[in-house]
Structure 1
Amino acid sequence: MQKLLLFLLIICLFQACQNRATTTESASDTSSFADDYKQLKAHTPVILLEDGERKVLLAAAFQGRVMTSTASGMNGNSYGWINHDLIKKGEYQPHMNAFGGEERFWLGPEGGQYGLYFKKGDPFDLPHWQTPGAIDTMNYPAVEKDKRQARFVKSFSLENYAGTRFDLKIDRRIRLLKEKEAADLLQVPLDKVKWVAYESDNQLSNEGREDWDKSKGVVSIWLLGMLKASPSQVVVLPFKGGGADLVNDAYFGKIDAARLLKTDSVLFFKGDAKSRGKIGIPPGIVKPVAGSYDAANGTLTIIRFNYQGDTAYVNSMWENQRYPYRGDVVNTYNDGPNDKGEQMGAFYELETSSPALVLKKKQSYRHVQQTFHVEGTAEELNAISRQVLGVKLSQVPKL
């Protein structure tokens, strides 16, 4: 009997280690667009935008989110990371529902005395952090849609840590870009490569009876994209020369030097979902473009957005802030195990924010972003990277 109990104990420990490994290790997600489309469609209504092989998949139930896209048809690469297991489960999780998707709509700031993710008086720690349901679980109905675009509209109210109430209206439109439009934006021809490009136009309106006031806290539009990680994925963030010391690379503690390289005017950051870390580029040195390069899969991703020289951006740090409007414009995040050895999934993020929105009643602001995924040879992608990011692909390190 003792031998049997010992044997069963060893089996249980082995299974526990195997289960634990699934939460601490992150394998690359190689599902095709068809795989993601089929799985997602089985559990929530979807909207498919398409122009030949170029396709973009949207979900109204997840705030009009861009779930994924492809440049190569149904059997082609699918760029967005989707948490199919969570979606299938059909149960809301504490703190945040990480459904995935390569561009989701959020609002900032996260933490601080004007934060939206903590209740008044609560400490700034994980047990008290909660993503507001309006940007986590609420459905944004599609009021218009066709083969090339869809528009989602939603009104709701939020209260920040200081007790300030915001009555908001969100008007979000996603549309596929045509070839000439995409080529003109990048200022490079696209006829020799496979590509997909879409624009996200997000209008936020103050629907309340009072003007918004910085002394009581204001909000910002925050777009975040969960993209599939890979061992060869490297984020490329160009910034104004001489600004390396202003880069914020300590959101979740110091990042290992082997995973991050800063030059005088560009930052390279490994996007393999093996180590948790986040980086921010402030307005003083930001350029309105960000990207990533996956050498093994021959894919270049580029994000452009409408930065207009604003200097006040909300600060999302989890602390009582001395400077609540010295936040970042562009962020990148790499997922990895947290202190408990758990993680969300095999993704990295590219993020952009609007400035702090000091809107008068009935006033609106638009934050517009374009996302491009391009597949081609190293030579073809190098020409695009040099033109748009100002970086030769030979300069991208193998971190």
Structure 2
Amino acid sequence: MEKDQHLNDSISNVQKQESSKTYADDVSFMSDYIDVIQLTDASNQSKVALSAALQGRVMTSSAFGAKGRSYGWINRELFASRDTLDHINVFGGEERFWLGPEGGQYSIFFKKGTEFTLDDWYAPRLIDLESFDVKSVSSNKAVFTKEASLVNYSGFKFDMGIEREISILSKTELQKALGLASLADDIKTVAYQTKNTMTNLGNTDWEKETGLLSMWMLGMFNHSPHTTILIPFIQGNESELGQVVNDNYFGKVPTDRLVVKEGVIYFKGDGEYRSKIGLSPKRAKSIAGSYDSENGVLTILKYNKPEGVTDYVNSMWELQDKPFEGDVINAYNDGAPEPGADPLGPFYELETSSPALDLKVGERQTHVQLTCHIEGDAESLNPIIKALFGVTVEDVTNAFH
């Protein structure tokens, strides 16, 4: 009996190792299909893999060098097929440059006159399959550019310039960026910042009456049964600030998967139930994150949220009464879209958006996002979670109990 148990444990450990790809594994795999640009810090432990072919996307990263855990979710099946799909190509990656709005009368995913259904929904090639130009590359920074045009549902044409600068941060730089007193020696980190700039290259100002765009950063991360997304929010009366969380994207999220407590929203990132939430600019702070208690991984997103700005594009799939009352932070948990169907991944997502871009001719605006992964034991991570989110490791792990 004891021997059988030992054998089962060994098999389980092998399966766990096989399912937990290293950074080197993922980079080696992707290199068969796309050119991979790698950034590293001076320690050679923090690593970030980028792809110009996929819009300067951050594909994955590691805090432990080549053999460390690969944080970004990679759709190996789609890469290996060497095929492309009509509606969207979900190659994965832990931070991709995207544009909104997705739905509504100013959508760039639906053509004029079509229905707001999946059959008529198409991701623009610009943010799905087109490559960005490489402007410059060094050991710790890469800059990508693109000039393009898009027409929205209402027929307005946007002529735009895009620049995406990605830089890797040292542990000391991360500590400063997060405003932390210290980062313990026994924890490992990888952090990168993206500066995403849009310029109106056309001859017409971008105005609400004809629709506006937003820059939208989406990160696909590897899920686990013990991953909890945590998003702090601004507390106050609903009459003044509106609802705390929008959970109507794919139907109401069950209460065993979404919990709102004093100042913090907890949302499961286990890849087992398709659901999405969002926070309005009146409720969102400038930070969101997740904690995988099994693997000791804290993921943090921080972005530049402009003070007092409330116009964000609305991506709901309908003709909208309020097209500029959208969300600034979103989180998505993948799962089967219907019983018996396969999930997209599974994975979970953390997302932030810029305000609606009402740019005059020649004007530009920048959306800055910092993404970091911090690995360590609960004792080391607890002070960081407490400082940034106002809760403890115990609060997070017991959120759904």
Work out the CA distance in 1 between the residues paired with 2:348 and 2:178.
23
Work out the CA distance in 1 between the residues paired with 2:329 and 2:391.
18
Letter in 1 for 2:35: P
Work out the CA distance in 2 between the residues paired with 1:77 and 1:45.
21
Q: Does 1:110 align with 2:102?
A: yes
Shift, 1:64, TM fit: 0.3
* Structure-2 residue corresponding to 1:207: 201
After TM superposition, the structure 1 stretch with the greater mean CA deviation from structure 2, 108-117 or 178-187, is: 178-187
Letter in 2 for 1:32: T
Work out the CA distance in 1 between the residues paired with 2:227 and 2:259.
14
Q: Equivalent residue of 2:24, what SS? A: helix
* Structure-2 residue corresponding to 1:392: 392
1:27-79 C-alpha deviation (Å, 9 max, x unpaired): x9511111101101111100010121110000110000000000011111110
Shift, 1:296, TM fit: 0.3
After TM superposition, the structure 1 stretch with the greater mean CA deviation from structure 2, 337-346 or 206-215, is: 337-346
- Percent of residue pairs bearing the same amino acid type: 47
Answer whether contact 1:29 1:346 (CA < 8 A) is retained: no
* Structure-2 residue corresponding to 1:22: none
Shift, 1:398, TM fit: 5.5
Q: 1:91 aligns with which of 83, 88, 102?
A: 83
After TM superposition, the structure 1 stretch with the greater mean CA deviation from structure 2, 234-243 or 93-102, is: 234-243
Alignment CA distance shift 1:264-1:322 (3 Å):
farther
Letter in 2 for 1:190: L
Q: Does 1:40 align with 2:7?
A: no
After TM superposition, the structure 1 stretch with the greater mean CA deviation from structure 2, 180-189 or 134-143, is: 180-189
* Structure-2 residue corresponding to 1:198: 192
Letter in 2 for 1:227: F
Q: Equivalent residue of 2:142, what SS? A: strand
Answer whether contact 2:146 2:162 (CA < 8 A) is retained: yes
TM-score (norm 1): 0.91
Answer whether contact 2:313 2:355 (CA < 8 A) is retained: yes
Work out the CA distance in 2 between the residues paired with 1:393 and 1:90.
42
* Structure-1 residue corresponding to 2:338: 339
* Structure-2 residue corresponding to 1:283: 281
Q: Equivalent residue of 2:267, what SS? A: strand
1:197-227 C-alpha deviation (Å, 9 max, x unpaired): 1001000000000101101101000000000
Work out the CA distance in 1 between the residues paired with 2:259 and 2:367.
29
Letter in 2 for 1:197: A
Q: 2:291 aligns with which of 272, 290, 293?
A: 293
* Structure-2 residue corresponding to 1:70: 62
Count, aligned residues: 373
After TM superposition, the structure 1 stretch with the greater mean CA deviation from structure 2, 155-164 or 259-268, is: 259-268
Q: Equivalent residue of 1:383, what SS? A: helix
Work out the CA distance in 2 between the residues paired with 1:65 and 1:93.
19
Letter in 2 for 1:110: E
* Structure-2 residue corresponding to 1:164: 156
TM-score (norm 2): 0.91
Work out the CA distance in 2 between the residues paired with 1:369 and 1:335.
23
* Structure-2 residue corresponding to 1:3: none
* Structure-1 residue corresponding to 2:321: 322
After TM superposition, the structure 1 stretch with the greater mean CA deviation from structure 2, 177-186 or 93-102, is: 177-186
Work out the CA distance in 1 between the residues paired with 2:279 and 2:333.
15
Matches within 5 A, 1:1-399: 29-51=19-41, 52-188=44-180, 189-192=182-185, 193-242=187-236, 245-309=243-307, 310-339=309-338, 341-396=341-396, 397=398, 399=400
Letter in 2 for 1:199: Q
Q: Equivalent residue of 1:182, what SS? A: helix
Shift, 1:348, TM fit: 0.2
Letter in 2 for 1:45: D
Answer whether contact 1:243 1:285 (CA < 8 A) is retained: no
Answer whether contact 2:232 2:264 (CA < 8 A) is retained: yes
Answer whether contact 1:108 1:222 (CA < 8 A) is retained: yes
Q: Equivalent residue of 1:262, what SS? A: strand
Answer whether contact 2:299 2:374 (CA < 8 A) is retained: yes
Shift, 1:247, TM fit: 1.0
Answer whether contact 1:271 1:348 (CA < 8 A) is retained: yes
Letter in 2 for 1:128: D
Answer whether contact 2:171 2:189 (CA < 8 A) is retained: no
Q: Equivalent residue of 1:293, what SS? A: strand
Q: Which runs of 5+ in 1 are unaligned?
A: 1-27
Shift, 1:243, TM fit: 6.2
Shift, 1:342, TM fit: 2.7
Q: Equivalent residue of 2:196, what SS? A: strand
Answer whether contact 1:243 1:265 (CA < 8 A) is retained: no
- Structure 1 segments of 4+ aligned residues over 4 angstroms from their partners: none
1:145-173 C-alpha deviation (Å, 9 max, x unpaired): 01101000000000000000000110001
Shift, 1:191, TM fit: 4.3
Q: Equivalent residue of 1:100, what SS? A: coil
